[in-house]
Amino acid sequence: MSIKIALAGNPNCGKTTLFNALTGSNQFVGNWPGVTVEKKEGKLKGHKDVVIMDLPGIYSLSPYTLEEVVARNYLITEKPDAILNIVDGTNIERNLYLSTQLMELGIPVIMAVNMMDIIEKNGDKIYIDKLSKNLGCEVVEISALKGNGITQAAEKAVKLAKDKAATPAVHKFSPEVEHVLNSIKDKIGIEVAEEQKRFFAIKLFERDEKIAQQLNNITDVTAEIEKIEKELDDDSESIITNERYTYITSIIKDCYTKMSKNKLTPSDKIDSVVTNRFLALPIFAFVMFVVYYISVTSVGAIATDWANDGVFGDGWRLLGIGSSAYEENVGEYDTYQQEIDGFIVAAQEKGVNVDSLKELIVSDDASEIELENAILTFSQNETVSNLNADVEITDEAGAITETVVVNLSEFENALEVGEPDPAAYGVWIPGIPGALESGLDAVGCAVWLKGLILDGIVGGVGAVLGFVPQMLILFAFLAFLEACGYMARIAFIMDRIFRKFGLSGKSFIPMLIGSGCGVPGIMASRTIENDRDRKMTIMTTTFIPCGAKLPIIALIAGALFNGAWWVAPSAYFVGIGAIIVSGIILKKTKMFAGDPAPFVMELPSYHMPTVSNILRSMWERGYSFIKKAGTIILVSTILVWFTSNFGFIDGKFVMVDDLRDGFLANLGSIIAPIFAPLGWGDWKSTVAAITGLVAKENVVGTFGVLFGFADVAEDGSQIWGTLAGSMTAVAAYSFLVFNLLCAPCFAAMGAIKKEMNNAKWFWFAIGYQTGLAYVVALCVYQIGTLITVGTFGVGTLVAFAIVIVFLYLLFRPYKDRNVLKINAKAFAK
């Protein structure tokens, strides 16, 4: 049988870093049975028979949070062979509270004091031998971040597990408390192992109902508890808490020396700036701006352009070899094309019919003889033969570089110039669409199947996967901010702001988690004790852009705003703004009135995270996105392609030539008028927004199918298909805002339904999210159009009316301020 070792410790103690270092890639991630708390286990390197369980980070074994219940149940019922207790040496007094509880479980315990490198750097001293003697268990020094001492700690834990020698709890409480505990122990039957009776006795003393439910035979001990509560003038739980801290204080005095109590640590110095009352918010805004700017606009844009133009486009040149020669020839070819177009336009202006010639020039199926005959007919026109057209030549940015005179002879010469073949310059690697199309043509693939594969699967799924580089960069930044300790400061900073708007920093933690995925963000709201605050947090968490919304942001920024730097950061702050506005408005209603719950959290010391941990976190988040693209998005894009390419014509079910004749267009056309006031009342955009309810990435996948993202020109200029010309910039931002704020994907909706545990609350949450998204998007489009174009109409009046209502709801006074007064003692308990 395998040996089971449990890693236990406080949040931010370095436990996950240690787990990753000890297990490497031998990890298995899932959820604990029946709950959404993450379950991590892995095989110890070099030990196939040793399984390490990474328990959730907890502060105690009291049943206040789901994480504490999960960890406690595992330790009591599964009873691992040993516990490796990770203690943050920089916050040792706080961490020892959990340690004293772990040693009451009757399980072998070894303590690893982490962050010893920081302790030494600060000039502090922990006397490990004295600490071990006072606690009654072996204590070792480690630095999980640098890898110092972790192998020795793991080996000692394995040895301890094999020896099966339980660690006795050497600490004792006051004689009065010990007397009551011994009385309770005597009344616990044989169903509890002797080494666990002290833990059960303490929990029964604390009136822990969940522990009491696990026991079948226990005599009522209420009289004994009430007697000592009266004697010590305190409740039983507080008595035990005080006893533990009295014991811990005695240990700290003997085992820990702080070299200079007045000296500021590096973390303190950094916090004096980043958590400063006036600088904290500007710094936070700047940090998130930099994160989104690099992820979406600069480095991320370069990587995504390569993925879209190369991997899911026409192809790419290995190491850029031959790029300059190719670009030069493409530039010359583009000049000839402009001369052709300019000459044709001039002929049209002179009344010459050139429609048939234009069709043959752009057709891939036209034969050489057909084209020659059309040119001959065209050139025989007397007007054309004497025409000298002034053609303006433009560069890639659309700026006019020169004006040339083109006559018939030059027009015919330009037609003979062939488009440069990318494969003729350097080492050319064809993209997936080109390679697939060649293969499908070679095997004589049916037209409908070829369309499904190229336009449906590659155009849809490829459009989503093309944004993976940007997402990975964003996830790497978020992992760095979490690991270095700054994310904990953001929660502290936002608590100061959120509290003014009816929420606490506890509400911001689910929102931080939700920046990766909305589902765990919604689940994280369980740590909020106040029911009103928890419901409001559930309703507003998904306003923060999650990873699935990043492709929508990048798509709109690239296709409609030419990669403008401000689009991506503004999307993040639109979410923050929606949360703040919602907090102010909802807190003034009877449903949500009341002071926010108190917020207390431990700020970990700043430290530089390891590259391996950042890459691991980045990959775990990115892989879940890629997996979704290969399942939900794949099915959705196939369905979108099928319903858009098939329909009934003259009563017959056929593959349509025009997407406007398909099922999807008919359905979208019925719903589209609802979104016309928002600026994007066409069926394609409407359908994309609706498919986004299945999974937000579907918005990009649907656009990829309907706007032809797979049809990429040689220079990548058509990567956005016809999307760029489908709506104005203001309408595009309205579309972005609506999809950021409206009801989330089906998975997140399921999480909301589960957490609300009430159908009425669930529909209220979905209705509020969608309604807010609609009115905000309407205001963006109507007022934005008035500012940019000067158009004023009924929609503009409605938008201004909405703004006035919003301002009233924001600044109106509370009807009953007494409703907001909550008994502080009730919260303290």
| Residue 57 marked as a ligand binder | yes
Candidates 236, 179, 242; CA nearest to 203 is: 236
| Residue 227 marked as a ligand binder | no
| Integer CA distances (angstroms), 589 to 119, 137, 593, in order | 49, 54, 6
Contacts of 734 (CB under 8 A, 6+ apart): 678, 679, 680, 777, 778, 780, 781, 784
Q: Would you say 464 and 701 are in contact if contact means Cβ atoms under 8 Å apart?
A: yes
| Residue 608 marked as a ligand binder | no
| Residue 115 marked as a ligand binder | yes
Residue 699 C-alpha from the chain's centroid: 17
Beta strands in 591-680 (DSSP E): 646-649, 652-655
| Residue 85 marked as a ligand binder | no
Residue 70's Cβ-side half-sphere holds a number of Cα atoms within 13 Å equal to 21
Beta bridge partner(s), residue 40: 29, 54
| Residue 20 marked as a ligand binder | yes
Beta bridge partner(s), residue 114: 88
| Residue 23 marked as a ligand binder | yes
Contacts of 246 (CB under 8 A, 6+ apart): none
Q: Would you say 145 and 610 are in contact if contact means Cβ atoms under 8 Å apart?
A: yes
| Residue 563 marked as a ligand binder | no
Contacts of 752 (CB under 8 A, 6+ apart): 522, 538, 539, 744, 762, 765, 766
Amino acid in position 131: L
Q: Would you say 785 and 679 are in contact if contact means Cβ atoms under 8 Å apart?
A: yes
Q: Would you say 486 and 473 are in contact if contact means Cβ atoms under 8 Å apart?
A: no
Using CA of residue 170, residue 176, residue 179, residue 180, what is the dihedral sign?
A: negative
| Residue 46 marked as a ligand binder | no
| Residue 24 marked as a ligand binder | yes
| Integer CA distances (angstroms), 320 to 323, 658, 732, in order | 5, 39, 34
**DSSP letter for each residue of 679-732:** T--SHHHHHHHHHTTT-TTHHHHHHHHHTTTT---TTSTTTTTTGGGTS-HHHH
Q: Would you say 184 and 221 are in contact if contact means Cβ atoms under 8 Å apart?
A: yes
Amino acid in position 485: G
Taking the C-alpha atoms of residue 732 and residue 798, their distance in angstroms, rounded to an integer, is 20
Taking the C-alpha atoms of residue 546 and residue 621, their distance in angstroms, rounded to an integer, is 11
| Residue 56 marked as a ligand binder | yes
Contacts of 409 (CB under 8 A, 6+ apart): none
Counts of helices then strands in the chain (DSSP H, E): 39, 15
| Residue 36 marked as a ligand binder | yes
The three-class DSSP label of residue 140 is strand
Taking the C-alpha atoms of residue 616 and residue 621, their distance in angstroms, rounded to an integer, is 9
| Residue 775 marked as a ligand binder | no
**Alpha helix (H) ranges present in 12-168?**
15-23, 66-73, 92-102, 116-122, 128-135, 150-163
Q: Would you say 715 and 653 are in contact if contact means Cβ atoms under 8 Å apart?
A: no
> What are φ and ψ of residue 85, in 5° steps?
-90, 115
| Residue 11 marked as a ligand binder | yes
Taking the C-alpha atoms of residue 407 and residue 401, their distance in angstroms, rounded to an integer, is 19
| Residue 54 marked as a ligand binder | yes
Q: Which H helix or E strand runs over 402?
A: strand 400-406
Taking the C-alpha atoms of residue 329 and residue 332, their distance in angstroms, rounded to an integer, is 5
The three-class DSSP label of residue 790 is coil
Contacts of 39 (CB under 8 A, 6+ apart): 29, 30, 31, 32
- Tokens 């203001």 -> residue: 730
| Residue 21 marked as a ligand binder | yes
| Residue 16 marked as a ligand binder | yes
End-to-end Cα, the chain, rounded Å: 44
Taking the C-alpha atoms of residue 602 and residue 278, their distance in angstroms, rounded to an integer, is 22
Instruction: Count CB atoms within 10 A of the CB of residue 582.
Output: 22
Binding residues for Mg(2+): 20-21, 23-24
Binding residues: 9-16, 20-21, 23-24, 34-38, 54-57, 114-117
Binding residues for GTP: 9-16, 34-38, 54-57, 114-117
